[in-house]
Amino acid sequence: MVDRSEAISDEDLGLELATRLSEPKTRLVIGVVDLVGREIALELFDRTRQIELDGGMMIKNGERRRTPGGVYLQLLRDVAREDSRINEEKVRQHSWYTSWLLVH
């Protein structure tokens, strides 16, 4: 269970989410929390967990499943286009996001 209380810092929340997603690039997940806030970061995490329980998400070419961290970031990318709470342009300009796009 992820600690959803305000008692932990955003950085600690990002570290916990990265751990639970088995994402070695912890700074990337911390950056998501910093960029979109706790509420959205936790919503993305919950959606990621459900997708993983339902069998995961394939990469675009269908050759393999995304890692849980990859699902989380793909959801961010998708949600940024649709959710008025997220500034899509701000997400696109963030350095970790642009470097992630280069390999996905």
pLDDT per residue over 33-87, tens digit each?
A: 988 899 999 999 999 999 999 999 999 889 999 999 999 989 988 887 776 676 6
Does residue 90 register a pLDDT over 60? yes
> In the chain, which residue ranges form alpha helices assigned H by DSSP?
10-20, 26-36, 38-53, 68-82, 88-93, 95-103
Q: What is the pLDDT of residues 1-41, one digit of tens each?
A: 777 878 899 999 999 999 999 999 898 899 889 888 999 99
Q: In order of start, what are the domains of the chain with their CATH numbers? A: 10-103 (1.10.10.1440)
d(C-alpha 12, C-alpha 3), whole Å: 9
Q: Sorting pLDDT into bands at 50, 70 and 90, what band is 103?
A: very low
pTM for the complete prediction? 0.80
Question: Cα 45–73–23 angle (5° rounding)?
Answer: 75
Contact assessment for residue 41 and residue 32, using Cβ atoms and an 8 Å cutoff? yes
